[in-house]
A and B are shown apart, each in its own frame.
Chain A
Amino acid sequence: MLNDHAKLMQAVMVAGEITGRKKLQKMIYIAKKVDFPFQERFQFHFYGPYSEELTTRVEELCNMGFLNEVKEKKGGYFQYRYTLTDPGMEFLSLNEVEMPYLQDCLVDMNEQNARFLELVSTVLYFDNLSKAEVAGKVFTLKASQRYTEAEIDEAYHYIEALKEKAKLH
Chain B
Amino acid sequence: MAYSTEKLREEKVFKDPVHRYVHVRDRVIWDLIGTKEFQRLRRIKQLGTAFLTFHGAEHSRFNHSLGVYEIVRRIIDDVFAGRPEWNNDERLLTLCAALLHDLGHGPFSHSFEKVFDLDHEEFTGKIVLGDTEVNKVLLRVSPDFPTQVAEVIAKTSEKKLVISLISSQIDADRMDYLQRDAYFTGVSYGQFDMERILRVMRPREDQVVIKKSGMHAVEDYIMSRYQMYWQVYFHPVSRSAEVILTKILHRAKQLFKENYAFTYEPIHFTSFFNEQVTLADYLKLDESIILYYFQNWQEERDPVLSDLCRRFVNRNLFKYAEFDPAKEYKKLAELGSLFEKAGIDPDYYLVVDSSSDLPYDFYRPGEEGERLPIHLLMKNGELRELSRESEIVDAISGKRRTDHKLYYPADFLEDAAGEQDIIKKIRALLEI
List of A residues within 8 angstroms of B336 by Cβ: 1
Q: Which residues of A contact B (CB under 8 A)?
A: 1-2, 5, 20-22, 25, 39, 41, 43-47, 50, 52, 55-56, 59-60, 63-66, 76-78, 80, 87, 91, 94-95, 125-126, 137, 140-141
Size range of the chain B interface in the assembly: 20 to 34
Q: Which of B34-42, B78-86, B366-374, B388-396 lies at the binding interface?
A: B366-374
Interface residues of B in 256-302 (CB under 8 A from A): none
16 contacts between A and B (CB under 8 A): A1-B332, A1-B336, A1-B351, A2-B325, A20-B368, A39-B114, A43-B121, A44-B155, A55-B370, A60-B325, A63-B326, A64-B325, A78-B364, A78-B367, A95-B329, A126-B156
Contact B329 A91 (CB under 8 A): yes
Contact B370 A137 (CB under 8 A): no
Per-residue interface assignment for chain B, residues 302 to 346, with 1 indicating a CB less than 8 Å from any chain A CB and 0 otherwise: 000000000000000000000001100110110010000000001
- If the complex has contacts A56-B356, A77-B365, are A87 and B326 also in contact, measured as CB distance less than 8 A? yes
List of A residues within 8 angstroms of B367 by Cβ: 21, 77-78
**Count: A-B pairs, CB below 8 Å:** 73
- If the complex has contacts A65-B326, A87-B326, A91-B329, are A43 and B155 also in contact, measured as CB distance less than 8 A? yes
B204 CB, min distance to chain A CBs, angstroms = 16
Contact B370 A50 (CB under 8 A): yes
4 residue pairs, one from A and one from B, having the closest CB atoms? A77-B366, A64-B326, A21-B368, A22-B368
How far, in whole Å, are A106 and B356 apart by their CA atoms in the complex?
Answer: 27
How far, in whole Å, are A66 and B402 apart by their CA atoms in the complex?
Answer: 16
How far, in whole Å, are A39 and B366 apart by their CA atoms in the complex?
Answer: 28
How far, in whole Å, are A53 and B364 apart by their CA atoms in the complex?
Answer: 20
How far, in whole Å, are A125 and B332 apart by their CA atoms in the complex?
Answer: 37
B33 CB, min distance to chain A CBs, angstroms = 26
Q: Which residues of B contact A (CB under 8 A)?
A: 113-114, 117, 119, 121, 154-156, 158, 325-326, 329-330, 332-333, 336, 346, 350-352, 354, 356, 358, 364-368, 370, 372, 400, 402
- If the complex has contacts A2-B352, A140-B158, A141-B156, are A94 and B370 also in contact, measured as CB distance less than 8 A? no
How far, in whole Å, are A20 and B336 apart by their CA atoms in the complex?
Answer: 36
**CB nearest neighbor in A for B329:** A91
**CB nearest neighbor in B for A126:** B156
B123 CB, min distance to chain A CBs, angstroms = 13
**CB nearest neighbor in B for A64:** B326
Q: Which of A1, A39, A47 contacts B368 (CB 8 A)?
A: A47
List of B residues within 8 angstroms of A21 by Cβ: 367-368
List of B residues within 8 angstroms of A1 by Cβ: 332, 336, 346, 350-352
List of A residues within 8 angstroms of B330 by Cβ: 94
